[in-house]
């Protein structure tokens, strides 16, 4: 894979999913982690923007629309550093499989779509652990938008890229912003060694492909090395 990031020399593994909103990442990583759990592995989850450290600041900054592209990028990097040092790294050291719903590539795509310098944001995340497997869900913009706009009500200010003043129309702004993000992902796919999944396929077919890729990439570690959860605990009987 690429030379960005810190190599993972630990027993545990890191699997990440990337793609634009509505590409099916959460659906697929949830199925993948259930499968790995059913095989008895210790699996943990880490979601983008979920660190308690900057939670309140992020909420306040979003509510008052105070973020600039640079401060927004830095607060996400702080969130990411906190999750890396306090959660992801200790779990990987212990031998767990960490599944991340969005990873540093999300910052590379979104922050650059906001006008942040690509090299600057890559340097910012150089402490990140290199994933063992990184999936990218390739989705035409209209398919992803259809899934998102069909199932939800209001698009949020930053989510729609309203801070960029692309358009006063939220849906139009969202479309343009997501299009830019998509272009960034496409530009990164080869450089970053993404395993590209055609996200227009059925949920089952995508999951079948993902499991095959996981077995090919980390199958040996799954035979020995990766932490197994004791049966009792695994059944939820503590
Ligand atoms: N392969 C698929 N075909 C059709 N709809 C899908 C597919 N995968 C996911 N969806 C639906 O699309 C929506 C977005 O999926 P989700 O997994 O939340 O995407 P993301 O996490 O990438 O935003 C959900 O309503 C989900 O049920
Ligand atoms: Mg999601």
pLDDT in tens, 104-155: 999 999 999 999 999 999 999 999 999 999 999 999 999 999 998 877 668 8
What's the pTM? 0.94
Task: Establish whether residue 25 lines the binding site of ligand 1, counting it when its CB lies within 6 angstroms of any ligand atom.
Answer: yes
CA of 232 to the centre of ligand 2 (A): 31
How far is it, in rounded angstroms, from Cα 178 to Cα 172?
10
| Secondary structure class of 230 (helix, strand, coil) | coil
116-124 contact pairs (CB < 8 A, 24+): 116/69, 116/70, 116/73, 121/73, 122/4, 124/73, 124/74, 124/77
In this structure, which residue's CA is closest to atom 16 in ligand 1? 24
Q: Does residue 152 sit within a domain?
A: yes
Give me the CATH number covering residue 55. Answer: 3.40.50.300
Residue 238 has pLDDT above 90, yes or no: no
Q: Hey, whose CA ends up nearest to atom 15 of ligand 1?
A: 24
With a 6 A CB cut-off, is 151 part of the ligand 1 pocket?
A: yes
Predicted local distance difference test score (pLDDT) of residue 149: 83
**In a domain? residue 1:** no
Which ligand minimizes its atom distance to the CA of 152?
1
Decide if 118 is inside a domain. Answer: yes
Is the CB–ligand 1 distance for residue 18 below 6 Å? no
> Looking at ligand 1, which residue's alpha carbon is closest to its atom 6?
24
Q: Is residue 128 part of a domain?
A: yes
Alpha helices (H) in 39-169, listed in sequence order: 55-63, 69-83, 89-94, 104-113, 118-124, 141-151
Domain count, the chain: 1
| Ligand 1 centroid from CA 22, angstroms | 5
Ligand 1 neighbour 66 (Cβ under 6 A):
no
- Whether residue 28 lies inside any domain: the answer is yes
Q: Which of 29, 33, 147 to mutate to test the pocket of ligand 1 (most atoms within 8 A of CB)?
A: 147
Which residue's CA is the nearest one to ligand 1's atom 3? Answer: 202
Asked whether 24 lines ligand 1 (CB < 6 A), one says yes
Range of the domain at 131: 13-234
Q: How far apart are the CA of 27 and the centre of ligand 1, in A?
A: 6
- Residue 5 domain flag: no
Q: pLDDT tens, 28-85? A: 999 999 999 999 999 999 999 999 999 999 999 999 999 999 999 999 999 999 999 9
What DSSP assignment string belongs to 12-30?
SEEEEEE-STTSSHHHHHH
DSSP string, 207-227: HHHHHHHHHHHHHHHHHTTSP
By percentage, how much of the chain surpasses pLDDT 90? Answer: 89
224 lies in some domain: yes
Q: Are 145 and 172 in contact (CB under 8 A)?
A: no
Q: Is 7 domain-assigned?
A: no
Strand partners, 16: 100, 134
**Strand 195-198 vs strand 13-18: parallel, antiparallel, or unpaired?**
unpaired
Residue 135's SS3 state is strand
């Amino acid at each position: 894979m690429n030379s960005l990031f810190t190599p993972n020399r630990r027993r545990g593994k890191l699997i990440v999913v990337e793609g634009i909103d509505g590409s099916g990442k959460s659906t697929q990583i949830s199925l993948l982690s259930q499968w790995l759990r059913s095989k008895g592995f210790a699996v943990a989850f880490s979601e983008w923007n979920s660190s308690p450290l900057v939670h309140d600041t992020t909420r306040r900054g979003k509510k008052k629309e105070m973020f600039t592209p640079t401060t927004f990028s830095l607060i996400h990097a702080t969130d990411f550093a906190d999750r890396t040092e306090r959660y992801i790294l200790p779990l990987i050291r212990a031998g767990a499989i960490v599944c991340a719903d969005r990873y540093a590539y999300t910052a590379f795509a979104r922050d650059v779509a906001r006008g942040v310098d690509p090299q600057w944001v890559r340097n910012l995340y150089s402490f990140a652990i290199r994933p063992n497997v990184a999936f990218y869900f390739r989705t035409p913009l209209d398919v992803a938008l259809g899934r998102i706009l069909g199932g939800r009500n209001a698009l949020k200010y930053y989510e729609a890229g309203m801070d960029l003043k692309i358009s006063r129309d939220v849906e139009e702004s969202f479309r343009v912003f997501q299009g830019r993000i998509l272009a960034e992902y496409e530009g990164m796919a080869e450089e970053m060694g993404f395993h590209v999944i055609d996200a227009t396929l059925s949920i089952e077919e995508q999951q079948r492909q993902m499991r095959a890729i996981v077995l090919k990439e980390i199958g040996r570690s799954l035979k020995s090395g990766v932490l197994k959860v004791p049966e009792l605990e695994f059944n939820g009987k503590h």
